[in-house]
Structure 1
Amino acid sequence: LNYKLDFYDELLPVVNEQIENGNNVIITGDWNTAHHPIDLARPKENEKTSGFMPIERERIDTYVSNGWVDTFRHFHSDANRYSWWTYRFGARERNVGWRIDYFFVNETFVEQLDDAEIHPDIMGSDHCPVSLTLKRDSL
């Protein structure tokens, strides 16, 4: 847990500096943290589970308060869709999952986005792909 939190803390000033220098930035990857209760199938049962602990979620809040936008939630504010499922208990088939894979962008970059998606139908891992589509004229 401490390694993850340290990483979150060390990444933020690096990406913020890029924004201050006039760059648009996309942060993407497996954050291993579900940010909000809507981002996992069983939030109450997982309040003390790594990946949904308040301290982890607060770190993502820090990114948001620094102007970083969760692109999937920007386009799909109420969608109960997930990017990871345990291999056990038929979780994927029952869609008992977590959304822990993200694209974050700086606020001024949002206008150049067309969509952000999760692709649960693509198999190959306990995660599914997530995608970010830019508007053609933004390239």
Structure 2
Amino acid sequence: MTSLAALFDWLAAGKAMSSAAARRGNSTDFRLRQLPKEEIHLYVKSIDNSTVVRLVDKKDWLASVGMAGGVLTASLLLIATLLPGGYTLLAGHRMEQLKHDRDQMTNELRILRSKEASLLSPTQLEQWGGHDFSTPTAASVIFAPPSKGAVASLGSR
């Protein structure tokens, strides 16, 4: 048996024999002759199953329900076992992400504060004001009078 086709021929047991016999030239030597009155007659009877009542096997039904309940319970227990670990993993990932965002925003706030400080420095103010900017003297400062409901005023000193 050198090939899969030869294996199938051997399993079929008719093809391999007939092909081998055909090669030898006497393909009908191994076959039996037909016997007289050997025909097969079949009688087909119609069966009416309308009066048949189905029997319910309670043991089989209980076994099926028990198996389904057991599988459901086992799957719920497995989920309940794995759920806290998964939630802890997700919460830890979220905490690390929030820490990273906080560090990034803290660095951004530091950069913005340093830029604000550099813009509000006296040398920078003079640069922004240009040549027309002059520092006011103490005598040129005018204080606004307090409103009538003011608690403290400068004039009562």
Calculate the TM-score normalised by the size of structure 1.
0.14
Q: Determine which structure has the larger helix proportion and give its number.
A: 2
Structure ID, larger Rg: 2
Structure with a larger share of its residues in strand: 1
* Structure with more contact order per residue of length (Cα contacts < 8 Å, sep ≥ 6): 1
After TM superposition, the score normalised by the length of structure 2 is: 0.13
